[in-house]
């Protein structure tokens, strides 16, 4: 059975993942207002990913005999100066998520909770992918700079992304 300390720490992350989703939902609205439907759709998919992360943690707490509790969330930022600024903000946010997941892993290790470590390992790996995908788009945006044609092409490319839950979920 999950300890109260770890349960509370994971509960905090369960809400934080939803709050992360709301940040990306607000970015999707910003991109829609900038007539960048592909960027907007990419962020909508990211919103869905974050809800999936929250659900995955909630399922674990339930399965481990704990109690899921949702907490208050901060309002997201709704305005950005440029696509690059939005993505740089997103990457910084993902780096924060990574440090929070690492912290959960440290608590699970401290408590010799092996099942929780296995669950959290998925998130450790996922965060490597999350940071890489935001970093990749930042690199492309920097290369494009003020080239409108490049931005339109990237918008089309990003619009291809769809959400699919990992196999076995």
Chain residues that interact with ligand FEO, rule: CB under 6 A: 17, 20, 50, 53, 94, 97, 130
Structural contact between residues 126 and 53, judged by C-beta atoms closer than 8 angstroms: yes
* Closest approach of ligand FEO to the CB of residue 95, in Å: 10
Cβ at position 154, least distance to ligand FEO in Å: 20
Whichever of 131 and 157 has its CB closer to ligand FEO, that residue is: 131
DSSP 102-115: HHHHHHHHHTT-HH
Q: Are 53 and 24 in contact, with CB atoms under 8 Å apart? A: no
Q: By C-beta, is 44 or 130 nearer to ligand FEO? A: 130
Of 17 and 44, the one with the shorter C-beta distance to ligand FEO is 17
Q: How many CB atoms lie within 10 A of CB 143?
A: 10
Give the span between the Cα atoms of 67 and 74, in whole angstroms.
22
Q: Which residue is nearest to ligand FEO (CB)?
A: 53
165 DSSP 8-state letter: P
Listed residue (132, 136, 129) closest to 157, CA to CA: 136
| Cβ closest to ligand FEO, residue 125 vs residue 156 | 125
Tell me the closest approach of the beta carbon of residue 156 to ligand FEO, in angstroms: 24
Residue 75 beta carbon to ligand FEO: minimum distance, rounded to whole angstroms: 18
């Amino acid at each position: 059975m999950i300890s109260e300390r770890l349960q509370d720490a994971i509960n905090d992350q369960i809400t934080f993942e939803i709050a992360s989703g709301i940040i990306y939902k607000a970015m999707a609205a910003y991109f829609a207002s900038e007539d960048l439907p592909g960027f907007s759709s990419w962020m909508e998919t990211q919103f869905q990913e974050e809800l999936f992360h929250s659900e995955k943690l909630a399922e674990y707490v339930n399965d481990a005999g704990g109690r899921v509790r949702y907490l208050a969330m901060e309002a997201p930022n709704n305005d950005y100066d440029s696509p690059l600024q939005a993505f740089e903000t997103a990457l910084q946010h993902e780096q924060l998520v990574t440090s929070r997941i690492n912290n959960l892993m440290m608590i699970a290790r401290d408590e010799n909770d092996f099942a929780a470590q296995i669950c959290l390992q998925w998130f450790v790996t996922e965060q490597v992918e999350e940071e890489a995908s935001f970093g990749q788009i930042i690199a492309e945006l920097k290369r494009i700079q003020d080239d409108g044609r490049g931005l339109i092409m990237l918008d089309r490319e990003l619009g291809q992304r769809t959400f699919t839950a990992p196999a076995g979920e």
